[in-house]
Chains A and B, each alone.
Chain A
Amino acid sequence: MKLGPTRIAWLQISHQKLRLLAAVLGVAFAVVLVFVQMGFQQALYDSSVRWHTALGYDLAVISPKTTYLVNPPGFPRNRLYQALGFEGVDSVTPVYIGIAEWRNPLDPLQARNIYVMGFDPLNSGFALAGDPAQVRQLRMPDRVLYDRLSRPEFGPIEEMLSGDGDVSTEVNGRDVKVVGLYELGTSFGIDGSIITSDLNFRRIFSSRSASKIELGLVNLDPGADPATVREAIVSGIPGDVLVLTRDEFIQHEVDYWSNSTPIGYVFGLGVAMGLAVGLIVVYQILFSDVQDHLREYATMKAMGYSNFFLSRLVLAEAFILAVLGFIPGYGVSLLVYTQAREATNLPVIMTHERAALVLALTIGMCAVSALLAMRKLRSADPAEVF
């Protein structure tokens, strides 16, 4: 029965069950707070790049003025065709993007902004839009595909389609017919979306010209190096466009959300707040624990135990609290994630990486609390037990 600092720490904090419960709940609360903030933050980033990851391309061409993909400014379509001439480029797809007003087919008074993407159905890059038969239907005038994960406020499109098979509504004052569904999901900037052909796009947005596009997709020959081709294109065409690889394009969007909007900052702050709350809770618990056991620590010092031993004891307590608090915190977070996912259609998903990160943060948080509480250990004066 060797009594190391960890064993003593466990015996000490498990001796008072209610206190242990309070401590564990405190840590669990902090863990949930951090998980939720991180979950939403990641969901924000993941959802904002849904299109970036779902579209098929090797290089993306956008206007340098594009801040984010929800409402990008246009650039000359010719730039994309110019890119077609470079070594390694296989094909290009001009993409039109706009925000249109969608009326709920069941409740026409309810009009909401919907995200519209238009492309030539003959081009590649829109595997997400469904099988070729479904895409082919877009060649007919005023036909659109609808994202079945759009917010319910747009109407029960999916149910209506499977019912009588015919859903018509008004987009930007023009009658359109939903001929199929695809699956993408919402983001913080986009509540719902439709995909249509380039021609239909210009019917919905009658003032747009065909020569101005918002996004260009470039597909390369197999084996071509995206970075090399990108360099070639950038040096060969006018500088009024930005040519980005997949990763850069995704990063461009994430950078916007994390740096240029308050949203990234707010979530970052939320994580910090969660850790701060946890830090204070754990510190408070450890501090009062050390305080309550000062006499015992002083006795141990008198017996010949070192400060180092006592520090390890407090650190071990912190570690135990971290692990014990993490487990219920993780469980509750999973529930919160599920709930949030169902309510928002945002990709709030637990990953192993995040679980490991939060566990590490929790242990770190408890360790810092322990270091703070250890200062109190010095006041355990062995001369005072006499």
Chain B
Amino acid sequence: MSAETTPILVENVSYEYDSGLSKHHVLRDVSLKIEAGEIVILTGPSGSGKTTLITLIGALRAMQAGSIKIFGSELHKASQRALMKTRRNIGFIFQQHNLLDYLTVAQNISMSLSLGLGLSGARARTRIEEVLDQVGLLAHIDKYPDALSGGQKQRIGIARALANRPKMILADEPTASLDRESGRNVVNLIQTLCREQGASVVMVTHDNRILDVADRILHLEDGQIQSISAAVASSTSQMLKLLNRHDPEAAHYMSAFSQALTRVALADDNMDDQEREAIKTILIEHSDLQQSEVDLVMEMAMSQVRCRTGYGGQPAFTPQQSRKFLSSLHAVAAADGEVSEQELQEIATIARELGFDTTGSIGA
């Protein structure tokens, strides 16, 4: 795909806030590429720089270093006017709906229509009706925003962003002010409509419940994009530590279950989806665990199973990973001064269980 049609190409972007007394690096050398039609979620703790990044991508903030190309046009050192034109090709969905409360729903949407598609009169009205129908609020076309619920306003915000048929949607915490159900509806709506229009989406969110709509998740931490595994590891280990501290009984109970399940699953060497669902139901009925706790137990067990069986017939590890794994284990064994025969045997067993090629393995 040529650079001209790549919706978002970010290269080596850094950004710092200068409070006068100290400089605060918000983004360090961030690079990323988002393809047409891709839905990307940007997560990270507050202060990680995700809002800064999305405002830079949205041409809402002057760049400092690096390069951002939106549909091929460079934003760094671009004029105010050029930035303004870039913004017209982007649909923004805000944390709060940011509707103009003195305009009706139709007028709010036509505010963006008259800029982008340049529609007015009957054709604008048709487009407004069309897009309101898509978000299921056609009946409210001539109401003022005050007469609508939070979720409805956010859906109007989506209609406004999509009315112009932009090729890119930027959304900032679109579910932040909504309850679980309306949040879910809003995200599903963004997903469906953007897929229909083939628009790329970058969505900033804290809300883990909506991560599943993403084609790709980018995790920002301290101004840098991290691998998803590092992100999950850091938050999971933290959560597990918390659980151990505050409710050790539950922690033990769950890990016991996960171990047991692992063994059961490994014993018959096969665990398909149907079996998983059945186990889940049984556990919920008999174990005294909440559904979310059962999910966790299953997930931990499955991760154990997967590491032994691989997925889709592929071995779980590459030869290089295998070598690193084994040399790490040997180093661990050697950490107490000497490597016992017992330890070496244990390592060999593990390697066998994981299906490693132990020929030519690194000796003690």
Contacts and interface: CB of A to CB of B under 8 A. Distances in A.
B106 A1 contact: yes
Nearest to B170: A386
Contacts of A386: 51, 54-55, 58, 60, 94-95, 172, 204
B107 A11 contact: yes
Contact of B110 (A1, A16, A300): A1
A259 B38 CA distance: 78
A3 B55 contact: no
B92 A1 contact: no
Interface stretch (B118-126, B266-274, B296-304): B118-126
Contacts of A305: 84, 115
B94 A304 contact: no
A306 B87 CA distance: 11
A2 B114 CA distance: 7
Interface in B108-134: 110-112, 114-116, 120-121, 124-125
B92 A302 contact: yes
A304 B115 contact: yes
A11 B102 CA distance: 6
Given A383-B61, A386-B95, A303 B110 contact: no
Contacts of B120: 1-2
B114 A3 contact: yes
A295 interface: yes
B88 interface: yes
Nearest to A4: B114
Contact of A15 (B61, B102, B116): B102
A385 interface: yes
A245 interface: no
Contacts of A302: 58, 60, 87, 92, 94
A12 interface: yes
A293 B125 CA distance: 26
Contacts of A303: 87-88, 92, 111-112, 115
Contacts of B51: 386
Interface in A294-344: 295-296, 299-307
Contacts of A11: 102-103, 107
Contacts of B80: 307
A382 interface: yes
Contacts of A296: 98, 100-101
Contacts of B110: 1, 3
B21 to A, nearest CB: 22
B85 interface: yes
A198 B106 CA distance: 84
B35 to A, nearest CB: 23
Chain B CB within 10 A, most for which of A1, A16, A300, A307: A1
B111 A300 contact: yes
Interface string A46-63: 000000000000000000
A131 to B, nearest CB: 68
Interface in B38-55: 51, 54-55
A1 to B, nearest CB: 6
Interface residues of B, number: 34
B87 A304 contact: yes
A385 to B, nearest CB: 6
Contacts, number: 78
Given A1-B121, A1-B124, A11-B102, A304 B111 contact: no
A382 B60 contact: yes
A136 B95 CA distance: 93
B92 to A, nearest CB: 5
Nearest to B101: A15
Contacts of A299: 92, 94, 98, 100
A299 B97 CA distance: 10
Nearest to B56: A383
A306 B92 CA distance: 16
Interface in B163-185: 172
Contacts of B115: 303-305
Contacts of A383: 55, 60-61
Interface string B323-360: 00000000000000000000000000000000000000
Nearest to B103: A11
A14 B102 CA distance: 8
Nearest to B85: A304
A386 B81 CA distance: 20
Contacts of A304: 84-85, 87-88, 115-116
A299 B94 CA distance: 9
Nearest to A15: B102
Interface string B73-97: 0000000110011011000101100
A1 B120 CA distance: 6
A2 B111 CA distance: 9
A295 B124 contact: no
Contacts of B85: 304
Interface string A349-386: 00000000000000000000000000000000011011
Contacts of A16: 102
A295 B61 CA distance: 16
A44 B278 CA distance: 102
A306 B116 CA distance: 13
Contacts of A300: 100, 111
B125 A3 contact: no
A340 to B, nearest CB: 41
A16 B51 CA distance: 33
Contacts of B103: 3, 8, 11
A385 B116 CA distance: 20
B125 A1 contact: yes
Contacts of B114: 2-3
A386 B170 CA distance: 10
Nearest to B90: A304
A1 B125 CA distance: 8
12 contacts: A1-B121, A1-B125, A2-B121, A3-B103, A11-B103, A296-B100, A299-B98, A302-B94, A304-B88, A386-B94, A386-B172, A386-B204
Given A306-B81, A383-B60, A386-B54, 8 more contacts: A2-B121, A3-B103, A299-B92, A302-B60, A303-B88, A306-B84, A383-B61, A386-B95
Interface of B: 51, 54-55, 58, 60-61, 80-81, 84-85, 87-88, 92, 94-95, 98, 100-103, 106-107, 110-112, 114-116, 120-121, 124-125, 172, 204
Closest 8 CB pairs of A and B: A15-B102, A304-B88, A383-B61, A299-B98, A304-B87, A383-B60, A383-B55, A382-B60
